């Protein structure tokens, strides 16, 4: 379980680096298009930008519970798993909720 957390952290760091590089390239690309240069030089620079490919995707990042590192059933808005959420609600740690009785 710890190995999966370490792997997830590694994937997140790699994605962050790739995303930062992608934003830098996009900034340079837009500035290059707005710049007044001759067409031959611009064509060489555009060819360079189109050959750069994104090396990392967001699909490898797994959403996990921040408390017990569970990968399944984690809720986005709290960042914890549904099982741990139930325990926190049962002991009154998260206020405003109460168990429904029919």
Listed residue (10, 12, 23, 13) closest to 52, CA to CA? 23
- Regarding the domain with residue range 63-102, which homologous superfamily does it belong to in the CATH classification? Ribosomal Protein S14/S29 (4.10.830.10)
Query: Which pLDDT does position 56 carry in this prediction?
Result: 67
Q: What is the pLDDT of residues 42-85, one digit of tens each?
A: 666 666 666 666 666 677 777 888 888 888 888 888 888 999 88
Query: Which pLDDT does position 55 carry in this prediction?
Result: 64
Report the residue count for the chain: 102
Which pTM does this prediction carry?
0.53
SS3 of 20, please? Answer: helix
- The conformation of residue 94, written as its DSSP 8-state character, comes to S
Domain ranges of the chain: 1-61, 63-102
Which residues have C-beta within 8 Å of that of residue 74, sequence separation ≥ 6?
63, 64, 65, 80, 81, 82
Query: Tokens 């790699």 label which residue?
Result: 14
């Amino acid at each position: 379980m710890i190995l999966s957390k370490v792997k997830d952290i590694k994937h997140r760091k790699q994605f962050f680096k790739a995303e930062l590089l992608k934003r830098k390239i996009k900034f340079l690309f837009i500035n290059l298009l707005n710049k007044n240069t001759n067409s031959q030089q611009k064509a060489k620079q555009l060819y360079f930008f189109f050959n750069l490919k994104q090396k990392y995707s967001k699909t490898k990042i797994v959403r996990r519970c921040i408390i017990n590192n569970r990968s399944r059933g984690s809720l986005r808005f709290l960042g914890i798993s549904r099982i741990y959420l139930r325990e926190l609600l049962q002991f009154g740690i998260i206020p405003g909720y109460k168990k429904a009785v029919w």
